[in-house]
Amino acid sequence: MSDCFVYFALANMIATTTAYISIGSNQGKRLANLQNAILHFNMDGTEVIATSHVYENAAMGFDGADFLNACFCIRTDKSPTELLKHITATEAYFGRKRFTDGQYHSRTVDLDILYYGADCISTDTLTIPHPRMTQRNFVLKPLADIAPQFYHPLEQKDTRNLLQQCQDTSVLCKRKYRLFVSRVALFKQLQFLAIEGTIGAGKTTLAKMISKDFNAKLVLERFADNAFLPKFYEDPERYAFPLEMSFLADRYQQFTDDTSQFDLFKNFMVSDYDIFKSLIFAKVTLQNEEFGLYRKLFNFMYKEVKKPDIYVYLHQNTDRLLENIKKRGRDYEQNISRDYLEKINRGYLNFIKSHPQQTSLLIDLGNLDFVSNPADYRSILEKIGAALMDVLN
């Protein structure tokens, strides 16, 4: 028997347990809180395998905003104690504040282990099955969506019977919201994601990472040799108009070609630019009369292009932009001025403010390093996921 075969056999002998967890939120973006917290459970040795419908009910035991509640099922090799530690860390990550006054309070995320297999556990820190689950229809109703015939190991009744006998008479409203078991499943709901940013912000890098991780068609701005670009950086006033017109023509042709051809083997499209950037740059570089003429042509083209489901703008401070530009070493970019970058930044921000009908997401990168730090990358994905939940619901 080969060593590889033995390793494979042992790997498949790792014991896993099915556990059921309730989740609620009545602070902040409640639905996004539920979704992102659920996705937090897809980690080494743990996989989310089912989610319930979402229900809304009034806060119980205290005055507070209405809760959204749901349940989800995981398969895990973590012990109950390890799972509880992960729950506590997840609640803290999403901003839950714990109080010591013995009273109920509003929560960004509230997580409880309902069942861990058929185990019965009673310690100072953990009781399974959850001791109050049979008294709460906002727990039993979503649990019945995913585990209607699961038997309570102490009550010896399944979830449906427990729900029928529950004396909780509080009003529970089923909502049409959807929750997803993985970020891949969530991002599959996208058609087109556009990532934008000023020169050196990292938009191409982020687009490539998302394309790789989520099987998305990658649409990159292609820079053909442009004779006007080096000249523009040397003499902006003279070469601004021919430069912007040539960029507009190239972008329009590229963008329409790339976004009109959907790849059946990809989940969605992600681009490192949106054609509206042409107008933003032109506003900065052109004189008023030139810009008026340019805008007439642009408006005609813009009506015909595909609009993104979510428009992500990566905002970075000017010092970091100049540092990034220096690092990538393109000769013709080294003379870009601070004032020019700041004007482009303001142009993007004005665009976002002037298009309230568009789902726009401004991400302040600050000191984030999403290339080297997985936690920073995950935080960006969480923000995109939250925006997508708004689009879907």
Q: Show which residues are catalytic.
A: 272
Given a contact cutoff of 8 angstroms between Cβ atoms, the answer to whether 291 and 282 are in contact is yes
**Nearest-CA neighbor of 184 among 151, 149, 212?**
212
Given a contact cutoff of 8 angstroms between Cβ atoms, the answer to whether 318 and 338 are in contact is yes
DSSP state letters, 267-309:
S-EEES--TTHHHHHHHHHS-HHHHHHHHHHHHHHHTTSPPPS
**Nearest-CA neighbor of 38 among 176, 163, 173, 178?**
178
Q: For residue 5, which amino acid is it?
A: F
Given a contact cutoff of 8 angstroms between Cβ atoms, the answer to whether 223 and 246 are in contact is no
DSSP, collapsed to helix, strand or coil, labels residue 150 as: coil
Q: For residue 34, which amino acid is it?
A: L
CA torsion 356→361→367→371, rounded to 10°? -150
DSSP, collapsed to helix, strand or coil, labels residue 102 as: coil
DSSP, collapsed to helix, strand or coil, labels residue 201 as: coil
Q: Residue 304: left if φ>0, alpha if ψ -120 to 50, beta else—which one?
A: alpha
Given a contact cutoff of 8 angstroms between Cβ atoms, the answer to whether 308 and 387 are in contact is no
Distance CA 384, CA 371 (A): 17
Instruction: Supply 324's token pair.
Output: 């990034």
Distance CA 32, CA 178 (A): 11
Residue with tokens 């349940």: 71
Instruction: Supply 129's token pair.
Output: 């099955």
Q: Are strands 310-315 and 217-219 parallel, antiparallel or unpaired?
A: unpaired
